[in-house]
Amino acid sequence: MQISSHPVHIPGIQTGKLQGHGGPLCLMLTWHPEVIKVYSEDETSRALEVPSDITARDVCQLLILKNHYIDDHSWTLFEHLPHIGLERTMEDHELVIEVLSNWGMEEENKLYFRKNYAKYEFFKNPMYFFPEHMVSFATETNGEISPTQILQMFLSSSTYPEIHGFLHAKEQGKKSWKKIYFLLRRSGLYFSTKGTSKEPRHLQFFSEFGNSDIYVSLAGKKKHGAPTNYGFGFKVQA
């Protein structure tokens, strides 16, 4: 594994004394940091000693300070899985050590620190991500609500629109890819077994997102025989 994560023991530190009924009490503080290795785009790496509860955003801020970079809110931490050809942007709140603990000992996974100018673009320009013909309510609206208003409701309330369209998908263990009509709902991702039908009897559950991370494909044609290099996949959290 090219990123190490192991505890480094620091002896207890006496930080003060408290007066109790049985005499003075010593307050001891023991900190168990972790050592992680983070790579840049030029494949140079830097080892960091960090607390076990450090978040992805904290790591980015630490590297920005150490490298004297300008913080333009685009610096991002990526989880890179070369053995399956996938990569994902780590969310700001994610605990880095927790992510690393799910890696196999023989996997040559890496953390990358680089810019992602589209990091917060979804919140600034959501319509760039969902064309109007792909957004609708699961129930009829009789044209009273525009697709733009639907998307704004998706971002600001508990009412979620339905995202739908064709994707190429491959079943596990098979080599061929099929073009299938998918529907993204609050409860998960579904696909239609009959054309573009949305009838419940024609919809089959594909994946939920509560316990999964979403990755983008790296060289999908070469690695997975996909019809395009632009793909994504789901990986269940350990």
pTM: 0.77
Tell whether 64 is covered by a domain: yes
Q: In percent, how much of the chain has pLDDT > 90?
A: 49
Residue 35 identity (one-letter amino acid): V
pLDDT value for 9: 37
Tell whether 201 is covered by a domain: yes
CB 137, CB 150: distance < 8 Å = yes
pLDDT value for 158: 67
Tell whether 90 is covered by a domain: yes
Query: Could you tell me the residue range of the domain that residue 167 belongs to?
Result: 122-236
Q: Quick one: pLDDT band at residue 81, thresholds 50, 70, 90?
A: very high
87 CB-contact burial (10 Å; exposed 0-12 / middle 13-18 / buried 19+): middle
Within this chain, do residues 100 and 135 fall inside the same structural domain, yes or no? no
Handedness of CA 77, 88, 116, 92 (dihedral sign): negative
pLDDT-wise least confident of 26-40, 70-84, 142-156: 142-156
Question: Region 31-52: what's the mean pLDDT?
Answer: 92
Q: What is the pLDDT of residues 106-127, one digit of tens each?
A: 889 999 999 999 998 887 777 7
Last residue of a domain, one of 96, 115, 134: 115
Last residue of a domain, one of 86, 115, 144: 115
Give the count of domains, the chain.
Answer: 2
Within this chain, do residues 70 and 145 fall inside the same structural domain, yes or no? no
Q: Is the pLDDT of residue 194 over 80?
A: yes
CATH number of the structural domain spanning residue 61: 3.10.20.90
pLDDT value for 137: 59
pLDDT value for 16: 44
pLDDT value for 37: 97
Q: Quick one: pLDDT band at residue 193, thresholds 50, 70, 90?
A: very high
Tell whether 190 is covered by a domain: yes
Last residue of a domain, one of 81, 115, 149: 115
Within this chain, do residues 104 and 79 fall inside the same structural domain, yes or no? yes
CATH number of the structural domain spanning residue 145: 2.30.29.30
Within this chain, do residues 167 and 231 fall inside the same structural domain, yes or no? yes
- Rounded distance, CA 46 to CA 40, Å? 8
H-helix segments, the chain: 56-67, 96-100, 121-124, 147-156, 220-224
- Collapse the DSSP code of 208 into the 3-class scheme (helix H, G, I; strand E, B; otherwise coil) and give the result: coil
* Exposure of 204 in the CB half-sphere (CA atoms within 13 A): 8
Within this chain, do residues 152 and 189 fall inside the same structural domain, yes or no? yes
CB 15, CB 35: distance < 8 Å = no
Question: Pairing relation of β-strands 110-115 and 34-39?
Answer: parallel
Tell whether 194 is covered by a domain: yes
Tell whether 3 is covered by a domain: no
